[in-house]
A and B are shown apart, each in its own frame.
Chain A
Amino acid sequence: MGYEAAYAGTSFATLDKLGSLHYGSEVMNVTGDRTVRHGLATVAYDDEGVEAQSFDLIRDGILVGYQLDRRIARNVGLGRSNGCAFADSPGHTPIQRMANVSLRPADGNGPSTDELVSAVDHGFYIAGDKSWSIDMQRYNFQFTGQRFYKIEKGRLAGQVKDLAYQSRTTDFWGAMEAVGGESTYRLGGAFNCGKGQPGQVAPVSHGCPSALFRGVNVLNTRSESGR
């Protein structure tokens, strides 16, 4: 919509792509949720008085929803707010920002992390996240991790270092072959998610199962530094 053009930027997931954008593979299901137990963005009512709720953002890999406050919902013709108005104090105007956004695990008895690793002949197991950076339309991203392990013939084959991975958002999620089951699902989060001008800070959670991706570009960060 252009309201964040000078700061956070804009998005490739424009309104005209709602219901048609192939954001990721068919195993990709993402929810926005302000009701989940222990979620850092969980509330009873948002800062416009709208009741907290859970809603689909991506279903079977297709973009199907947006986070909305009352003003944006009306302006873009998407009906009612889904409870995403946040103000970090009475001194700040409520702004529309993300709920707890989570990748859903596989239904039923989905695979364990070990089972996902066993499906890899040669690759890496990356635990945790670090150094997140994404462009101003959310295409190009680069992450590192907290721990890296080599995978050889379906087994962890020792810890390695100096890795980062880099991709385009839809390429990356399109390369997601499988998500783990409930046993692999973890709800994490941050207390200091910054948005807006003047800046506002909000706690927010992300839930995620283990997941298997094929053909992702993994970088050697020592080489990237020219060493």
Chain B
Amino acid sequence: MSVAATRFVPAPRVVEQVLEASESDGCIVIVEDRSEAEVRFANNTVTTNGTRRDRTVVAIALREGEGGTAVGIASRSGTGDAIDLLRRAEANAATAPPAEDAAPLVTPGSTGAEADFGDPPVTTNLAGLGDVLTGLGEAFGRARAAGSQLAGFAEHKVSTVYLGSSAGLRLRHVEPTGKLELVGRADGGARSAWVSAGVADLATVRLEELEERLTRRLGWAERKVDLDAGRYEVVLPPDAVADLMVMLGVSTSGREAEEGRSVFSAPGGATRVGESLSPHPFTLRSDPFETGLECTPFLVAPASSQDVSVFDNGLPLERTEWISGGRLERLQYHRAAAARSSVQPAAFINNLSLELPGATSSVEDLVARTDRGLLLTCLWYIREVDPATLLLTGLTRDGVYLVEHGEITGSVNNFRFNESPVDLLAKTVEAGRTERALSREWNEWLNRTAMPSLRVADFNMSSVSPAT
């Protein structure tokens, strides 16, 4: 990563210009400068690659009125007149009804993110892809020699966000994000496997190590076994656990729970906070300072939603345990909603970790203790079926393996599953140690996850998918 000159007006100057020009009763400005580099490949050749710079500016104007505080928002990408944007936000505020999420603006405090506000954005380029880009040519050659095809995607992107407000906030944060996804296919797609790495710095990724994992999995598929739909004991590696637990994490809406629209609803407008969800003392948490998962330590809200408020922009974020000791501990509320419900506010933070304290086993250990079951290496096209139970549907993909007497004995056809991640916590037989994970389904918007492997009883494979 490097700090580079840009054709954009410096973001700190945009923030100051807009705040100085504000004619409303309060103003918030968000500027996000993004820098991205990527390479995509398929059929043992690079198909696209490139670098990109972009900016988004959001102006939020507040207007005090008889019934309360109204909000107007305007945003745009790329270059443009920020003052014109501000005037559009003010015009929107002039016609908006009072906001139900109104609260005093956040004042400068203890985030520690103020000191570097005047610094330029951090950028990346193709060098940010580390050894991945330079190593692909040889990897394609090895795949061709083995009669297989590689496909995948690597990207490195850096977001530098600047947040300023009429209450005196001047915050800046740099968030680098990287990933590599690698798919190997052989025998016309009859054998396939997926491996990945989610990291802040792709220089830490060794392409050959991922290739070795891929080759090992393709080797497991030399023997094919057809199985029917049904309920199976399964072993889920950390990546697949992330596919499911991300949906649990984003379902922690306090408002939805209170309105009876969530798996965390209780009768009479109450919530299930305090209720045990698992016999195991799992912790599900988000923490901007979690080692290896560091992310923006203050709230950035370009728009309000049921649990997020623009009024909370700049609110310091802290370690939040959604589940603690196996019990539901917290739900998401913005400050105004939290005050109405007499709870502490909690915002979703850009990472998610599931941990069983004291667990040390690897996924291989869990497989070794499985008498008969399935190893599901990754899941795909996951969608919510029933919010009341958080029943999810989705598919296995690129690697379902039969485990017999503690050993992998072949690959199995794909399945459609219908399962709830909340139920999985209750049905867990054992959990492994928490490791960095990358959800295949959700990594584009939540890359930072750390999960254990899980061995789970009675996983519902609803039907067979003939897809390969």
Contact = CB atoms under 8 A, between A and B. Distances in A.
A2 B151 contact: yes
B36 interface: yes
Contacts of A168: 466
B466 A6 contact: no
A6 B183 contact: yes
B55 to A, nearest CB: 11
Contact of B418 (A197, A199, A221): A221
- What is the interface of chain A mostly: helix, strand, loop, or mixed? loop
Interface in A203-227: 219, 221-222, 224-227
B354 to A, nearest CB: 21
Nearest to A10: B189
Contacts of B389: 221-222, 225, 227
Contact of A135 (B36, B40, B381, B383): B381
A140 B52 contact: no
B23 interface: no
Nearest to A224: B418
Given A2-B42, A5-B183, A225-B418, A134 B152 contact: no
Contacts of B275: none
Contacts of A12: 467
B465 A140 contact: yes
A138 B381 CA distance: 11
Contact of A136 (B382, B397, B464): B397
A198 B445 CA distance: 12
A227 B419 CA distance: 11
A160 to B, nearest CB: 14
A26 B418 CA distance: 33
A133 B467 contact: no
B385 A164 contact: yes
Contacts of B153: 6-7, 197
Given A10-B189, A197-B40, A199-B444, A140 B386 contact: no
Contacts, number: 126
Given A136-B380, A168-B466, A225-B391, A5 B185 contact: yes
B465 A135 contact: yes
A12 B467 CA distance: 8
A199 B444 CA distance: 8
Interface in A134-149: 134-140, 142, 144
A166 interface: yes
B208 interface: no
B351 to A, nearest CB: 20
Given A142-B416, A198-B36, A135 B467 contact: yes
B159 interface: no
Interface in B38-55: 38, 40, 42-43, 47-48, 50, 52, 54
A131 B466 contact: no
A190 to B, nearest CB: 14
Interface in A142-182: 142, 144, 162, 164, 166, 168
B152 A6 contact: yes
A221 B397 contact: no
Interface in A65-121: 89, 91, 93
B245 to A, nearest CB: 17
A60 interface: no
B306 interface: no
A91 B52 contact: yes
Given A93-B48, A131-B393, A140-B395, A5 B42 contact: yes
A154 B414 CA distance: 38
A198 B466 CA distance: 28
Interface string B374-394: 000000111111100101011
Interface stretch (B236-244, B364-372, B455-463): B455-463
Contacts of A1: 43
Given A2-B185, A93-B48, 4 more contacts: A139-B465, A140-B395, A197-B153, A224-B460
Interface of A: 1-7, 9-10, 12, 89, 91, 93, 131-140, 142, 144, 162, 164, 166, 168, 197-199, 219, 221-222, 224-227
Interface of B: 36, 38, 40, 42-43, 47-48, 50, 52, 54, 77, 149, 151-153, 155, 181-183, 185, 189, 192, 194, 380-386, 389, 391, 393-395, 397, 414, 416, 418-420, 423, 444, 458, 460, 462-468
